[in-house]
Amino acid sequence: MANIGHYISGKHYEGKSNLNKPVFNPATGASETKVNLANNDEVNLAVESSKSAWKDWSNQPPLRRARVLDKFKYILDERREELAQCISSEHGKTHEDALGEVTRGLEVVEFAVGAPHLLKGDYTENVGSEVDSFNVRQSLGVVAGITPFNFPAMVPMWMFPIALVCGNCFILKPSERDPSPSLLIAKWLTEAGLPDGVFNVVQGDKIAVDAILNHPDIKSISFVGSTPIARYIYTTGTSAGKRVQALGGAKNHMVIMPDADLDMATNALMGAAYGSAGERCMAVSVAVPVTDKVADALVEKLVPKIEALKIGPSVDPAAEMGPLITSEALNKVSGFIEAGVDEGAKLVVDGRNRKPSMQGYENGFFIGGSLFDNVTKDMSIYKNEIFGPVLSVVRANDYKSAVDLIHGHEYANGVAVFTRDGDVARGFSNEIEVGMVGVNVPIPVPMAFHSFGGWKSSLFGDHHMHGMEGIRFYTRLKTTTVRWPRGQRTDPQFTMPTLG
């Protein structure tokens, strides 16, 4: 059985920890490879490699750094099929979904190529008599990213392109469940001309995570994952003096107003709730139809579409939804469905025990789409992030009840409203206490030149990801004040200096 290793100093590195875990193909349920797990020594090796590369890399003009990212962009664009196949083989998502992931990651690379403009500072002449002042943004040093299984290419590309082009060296700790895409990315960065050590990959589990969190030479950490782990990453990292952005869990609502285009809303819900088997932090897992009339009509339209969802492996071009990532994830989602029934919700469509029609995939971690109606806010299927293809319908009597429901949840990542009423749309956008809002858009993931992030328990830290927030996170501001006297001398000043 082949072993998947690390990538340090521009080459593959097997590691010496003798620790490993199986990597499964979720579509077959079989373990086809193993991933080597780092201990403190491997993390230290990666950090030393990055430290050695940082001084020269950070002193390169931003334009030269951008040119390396530009070459990587073209490689990524030309080989997107290869990366998508790599993603699907270990994650299980359909090929088209994997291609979409690559495209969204590529957009951040395209944004990062504009760094010579984005890193420009400010200059003020004569802030005082013969005194000028300017500021610049400088790199932090060695930074790290800890990324989840559900987007093994896109989420790292939310981080490292901006970190690198700002002059930092980056250490990536991907999920041990689908580790291979990170190695392809590392190889292509080297091919694009990135110097050895500027981008390193360390495979691992909690041992590697804790080594990263506590290493004194790592200046910042970016994380995407569940809220309990995000809170741990933020608390531990900031206690160690690091800058941390930690994106956590979500429970995203879609409000359907009585005047909404119901066919549009139904189709939007299908993609948002069941795409990527619901394993998205921006998946819509709660539909909030306003009035029972809207709810009844919505459920009636959803049922045949959910029952017709075609599940299958990525090699099946007709598949609309792939398997879950692991058998543990399958058991967890099935357990939530059982809990929903026990708590009194109406299970309208039960996706359990569905298998793909294609032979050879009977042991894969597949589950069909499920739909609950008459869900209430005290039920576990409403309160918790299920991270699977389960949609809950929570009925609201009126617009205010829908807004109050959303405001009462601990998560505030994404939200959507479907309506034809401009007043409702504008009011909702302004007053809703959620980080990302869609109006007739079910999954409002911002483009790369804007920034991604939620509120409340969905985000720990002050900075969202990519866009200008990414530039600010991966740099620190330095302001210089300059006086060039024309031969005159000044007396000592013992009061607070002023420049007027």
Residue 489 has pLDDT above 90, yes or no: no
Residue 314 has pLDDT above 90, yes or no: yes
pLDDT in tens, 259-290: 999 999 999 999 999 999 999 999 999 999 99
Look at residue 484 in the predicted model and tell me its pLDDT: 86
Residue 59 identity (one-letter amino acid): N
Residue 108 has pLDDT above 90, yes or no: yes
Q: Is 166 a catalytic residue?
A: no
Q: Could you give the percent of the chain with pLDDT greater than 90? A: 93
Stated pTM of the model: 0.95
Question: In this predicted structure, which of 16-25, 234-243, 471-480, 489-498 has the lowest mean pLDDT?
Answer: 489-498
Residue 500 has pLDDT above 60, yes or no: no
pLDDT in tens, 128-154: 888 999 999 999 999 999 999 999 999
Look at residue 449 in the predicted model and tell me its pLDDT: 93
Residue 318 has pLDDT above 60, yes or no: yes
Look at residue 71 in the predicted model and tell me its pLDDT: 98
Residue 499 has pLDDT above 70, yes or no: no
**Average pLDDT, whole number, for the chain?**
96
Per CATH, the homologous superfamily of domain 252-439 is Aldehyde Dehydrogenase; Chain A, domain 2 (3.40.309.10)
Mean pLDDT of 201-218: 98
Task: Name the catalytic one among 86, 166, 169, 281.
Answer: 281
Local confidence band at 490 (pLDDT 50, 70, 90 cut-offs): low
pLDDT in tens, 413-464: 999 999 999 999 999 999 999 999 999 999 999 999 999 999 999 999 999 9
Look at residue 129 in the predicted model and tell me its pLDDT: 82
Q: Where are the domains of the chain?
A: 2-248+458-480, 252-439
Local confidence band at 485 (pLDDT 50, 70, 90 cut-offs): confident
Look at residue 494 in the predicted model and tell me its pLDDT: 73
Look at residue 72 in the predicted model and tell me its pLDDT: 98
pLDDT in tens, 335-391: 999 999 999 999 999 999 898 988 889 999 999 999 999 999 999 999 999 999 999
2-248+458-480: CATH topology is Aldehyde Dehydrogenase; Chain A, domain 1 (3.40.605)
